[in-house]
Amino acid sequence: MQPGVTADQIAERLGVTERAARRYVAILREAGVPVESARGRYGGYRLGRGMRLPPVIFTQDEALALVMAVLEGHPPATGTGELAASALGKVIRALPENVGRQAAAVREYAAAAPGRRAAHPDPALTSALVVAVGARSRVRLAYRSGPGRRSEAEVDPWAVVVRHGLWYLLCYSHQAGAVRSYRIDRVQAVEHTQDSFTPPEGLDPVAALEENLGAGWDFPARVVFKAELSHVAPWIRAPMGRLEPHADGCVLVGSTNNPAMYAQEWLAAVPFDFRVDAGEELRAAVSALASRCAAAVADPPEPVT
pLDDT for 303 equals: 73
Q: SS in 3 state form for the chain?
A: CCCCECHHHHHHHHCCCHHHHHHHHHHHHHCCCCEEEECCCCCEEEECCCCCCCCCCCCHHHHHHHHHHHHHHCHHHHCCCCHHHHHHHHHHHHCCHHHHHHHHHHHHHCCCCCCCCCCCCCHHHHHHHHHHHHHCEEEEEEEECCCCCEEEEEEEEEEEEEECCEEEEEEEECCCCEEEEEEHHHEEEEEEEEEECCCCCCCCHHHHHHHHHCCCCCEEEEEEECCCHHHHHHHCCHHHCEEEEECCEEEEEEEECCHHHHHHHHHHHCCCCEEEEECHHHHHHHHHHHHHHHHHCCCCCCCCC
pLDDT score for 124: 87
Residue 216: its pLDDT value, please? 75
Do the beta carbons of residue 252 and residue 241 sit within 8 Å?
A: yes
What is the predicted pLDDT for the residue at 26? 84
User: What pLDDT score does 283 carry?
Assistant: 96
Q: What is the pLDDT of residue 80?
A: 61
- The per-residue pLDDT for 1 is 42
Q: In the chain, which stretches have pLDDT less than 50?
A: 1
Looking at residue 20, its pLDDT comes to 83
